[in-house]
């Protein structure tokens, strides 16, 4: 429990934590209204942001390509992180897997920057419907991103940095592997995350590199240490449980636009069979009924003597 609480504290973005008096609260509300009006006055959410994209090599980190020089200075780079909260269901027959997740994204939009001393506001929450949000899709998802992850508030900082976290369900179409060793099988399902219309020219996509404020991008380590929500995700009544999650970065080039590669994050979710569930829900009941069926029944002769 203590470890989960620490993970929760680290997962939340840093805020000032300032306590306002009644007078200060009125002034703060007025400042936020004025700031919001100023930021959105000539803002177009359909236009990609401007930002500093000179750190591509640092963004790639362990996923660095042979050539990681900056591809484009237009647009912005988006850091993506999935927090796997719950394994809802696995349907081997239809090849479906349902996961309860939190999708977290961070990017920079200098159009939303402001002077914190002028407005006396160090953070503002704006609706995801009012600002530009990343063009992100899960390619082998049954639902659309809009249906799976609804809009929420985005947290914006004076630098123009944006943090956007949304809870939702990943209903994946899987080609499961690892089923030949039942009941000691380890199922695996991959899903790809990338831009739908925007390529790397305007939108870079990278796995979040994991800082003290946002743990969890090193997904296998997060699972091993019992990060936030995984006590629920590994509940003992489930037939399967999440063992590890890995992510790989790649750039895909399509014939339509050879000069505009599409960054793709490939997540691989590895499951293992829950031994407790298998023993108590399948093996022991079947063994019990098998023993009953083999037990000798009273013969007709014994019945007549009675």
Question: pLDDT, tens digit, for every residue of 22-63?
Answer: 555 668 889 999 999 999 999 999 999 989 888 777 766 666
Annotate 104-129 with b (16+ C-beta within 10 A) or e (fewer). bbbbbbebbbbeeeebebebbebebe
Distance of CA 10 to the CA centre of its chain: 16
Token digits of residue 219? 């997904």
Rank 83-87, 184-188, 201-205, 283-287 by mean pLDDT and report only the highest.
201-205
Which helix (H) or strand (E) segment holds residue 99: the answer is: strand 96-108
Report yes or no: 146 and 103 within 8 Å, Cβ to Cβ. Answer: no
User: Quick one: pLDDT band at residue 234, thresholds 50, 70, 90?
Assistant: very low
Radius of gyration of the CA atoms of the chain, in A: 26
Q: How far apart are CA 77 and CA 198, in angstroms?
A: 11
**pTM, full prediction:** 0.74
pLDDT for res 41 = 96
Residue 162: HSE in the Cβ half-sphere, 13 Å Cα cutoff = 29
pLDDT for res 226 = 40
If we measure between CA atoms, which residue out of 242, 213, 247 comes closest to residue 229? 242
Which helix (H) or strand (E) segment holds residue 61: the answer is: none
Helices (H), ranges, 120-178: 145-148
Q: How far apart are CA 247 and CA 138, in angstroms?
A: 13
Find residue 164's DSSP bridge partners.
Answer: 105, 154
Please report, for residues 47, 184, 253, the alpha-carbon distance to residue 74 in angstroms, rounded to integers and kept in the order given.
11, 50, 19
pLDDT for res 39 = 96
Average pLDDT over residues 272-299: 63
Q: Which residue has the higher pLDDT, 152 or 92?
A: 152
> What beta strand segments (E) does 119-239 contain?
124-127, 136-138, 153-156, 161-173, 188-195, 203-207
- Statement: residue 74 has pLDDT above 60: yes
235-274 pLDDT, tens per residue?
444 677 788 888 888 888 888 888 888 999 999 888 887 6
- Statement: residue 110 has pLDDT above 50: yes
* Cα diameter, the chain: 103
- Statement: residue 293 has pLDDT above 60: yes
Token digits of residue 168? 């939702």
């Amino acid at each position: 429990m203590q470890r989960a609480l620490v993970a929760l504290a680290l997962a939340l973005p840093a805020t000032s934590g300032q306590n306002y008096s009644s007078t200060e609260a009125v002034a703060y509300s007025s400042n936020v209204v004025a700031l919001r009006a100023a930021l959105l006055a000539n803002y177009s959410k359909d236009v990609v942001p401007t930002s500093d994209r000179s750190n591509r090599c640092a963004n790639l980190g362990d996923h660095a390509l042979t050539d990681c020089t900056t591809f484009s200075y237009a647009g912005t780079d988006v850091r993506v992180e999935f927090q796997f909260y719950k394994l809802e269901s696995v349907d081997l027959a239809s090849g479906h897997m349902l996961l309860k997740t939190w999708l977290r994204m961070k990017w920079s939009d200098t159009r939303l920057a402001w002077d914190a001393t002028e407005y006396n506001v160090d953070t503002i929450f704006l609706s995801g419907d009012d600002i530009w949000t990343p063009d992100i899709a899960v390619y082998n998802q049954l639902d659309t991103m809009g249906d799976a992850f609804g809009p929420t508030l985005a947290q914006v900082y004076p630098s123009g940095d944006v943090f956007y976290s949304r809870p939702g369900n990943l209903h994946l179409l899987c080609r499961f592997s690892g089923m030949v060793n039942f009941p000691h099988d380890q199922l695996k399902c991959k899903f790809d995350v990338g831009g739908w219309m925007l390529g790397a020219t305007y939108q870079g996509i990278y796995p979040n590199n994991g800082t003290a404020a946002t743990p969890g991008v090193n997904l296998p380590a997060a699972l091993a240490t019992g990060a936030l929500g995984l006590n629920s995700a590994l509940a003992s009544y489930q037939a399967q449980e999440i063992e590890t999650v890995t992510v790989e970065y790649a750039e895909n080039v399509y014939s339509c636009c050879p000069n505009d590669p599409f960054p793709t994050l490939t997540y691989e979710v590895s499951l293992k069979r829950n031994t407790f569930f298998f023993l108590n829900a399948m093996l022991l009941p079947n063994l019990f009924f098998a023993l009953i069926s083999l037990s000798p029944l009273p013969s007709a002769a014994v019945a007549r003597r009675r």
